[in-house]
Every structure is written in structure tokens, then in C-alpha cells.
Amino acid sequence: VQLQASGGGLVQAGGSLRLSCAASGRAFSSGVMGWFRQAPGKERAFVAALDWGGTNTLYTDSVKGRFTISRENAKNTMYLQMNNLKPEDTAVYYCAAARRSYPTMRFDVYDYWGQGTLVTVSS
């Protein structure tokens, strides 16, 4: 297993969750890591991504100011802190890794994918 996402669950609107993505060495050393999500009946969509050093980050507009992506390279782990959750954030969240230097929203350039973790936000 290359990537393992966890931390999903049921939370009320306005609440918080932190997702984690544990990676094997090869997947984690790829460079860029990101989070995507897929809501019921919708296509997979970009959420956030960051580079190896964590200095360059990219967010989709709908989560800016609410979500924070980070990584601990020593632990081979990436995180997504999600605050002020809204019902429209309900989705299966996937972590991914790409062999590139700069974060990207394009899902087709990500080389490794984890299984999803379900986040459900109730109103």
C-alpha cells in the first residue's frame, strides 16, 4: 500500500476534522502531495496540494480560509485540517502524490492514490 488516508467521520456543520495520509517512502518522496474529494453523484475534485517543503500550497477557492494542508516528512504523513465544515464538504476524500516539484490541481498527473476516507457534515 502506497498511501493510506484516515480521519474521516461524521461532524456537524461548523465543526472540524483532521485527515491524515500515511505514505510509503517511495510515494512520499515523489514531491507534491494533494487531497481530492468526490461527492455523491459528482466527479472527483481538487481540494489542496503542497510541495515537498510545504512552502508552496494550492487550494480550491471553496476551502480557502477553512482548510489547511501540511506535511511532516519525518513521519511520511500529510494532513488536511478542516475547520468550519459545511454540508457541501461532504465527500469521500482521497490523498495523492505526484512526481513533480510544484503543486497542481490536475488529478491526471498524480501518480499514486490512496483509498478514500468519508467525511459527512450534517446541517
Q: What's the pLDDT tens digit per position in 95-111?
A: 999 999 999 999 999 99
- In this structure, which amino acid lies at residue 25? G
Quote the CA–CA distance of 34 and 57 in Å, as a whole number: 9
Quote the CA–CA distance of 45 and 20 in Å, as a whole number: 18
pLDDT for residue 28: 73
pLDDT for residue 93: 98
Q: How many CB atoms lie within 10 A of CB 65?
A: 10
Mean per-residue pLDDT, 64-92: 96
Q: What is the secondary structure of 57-101 as a DSSP string?
A: EEE-GGGTTTEEEEEEGGGTEEEEEE-S--GGG-EEEEEEEESSS
pLDDT for residue 43: 96
Residue with cell 519525518: 74
pLDDT for residue 26: 73
Residue with cell 490512496: 114
Mean per-residue pLDDT, 59-83: 96
Residue with cell 497542481: 104
Confidence of residue 87 (pLDDT cuts 50, 70, 90): very high
CA dihedral 78, 83, 107, 105 (to 10 degrees): -100
Residue-wise pLDDT for 14-56, tens only, equals 999 999 999 987 767 769 999 999 999 999 999 999 999 999 9
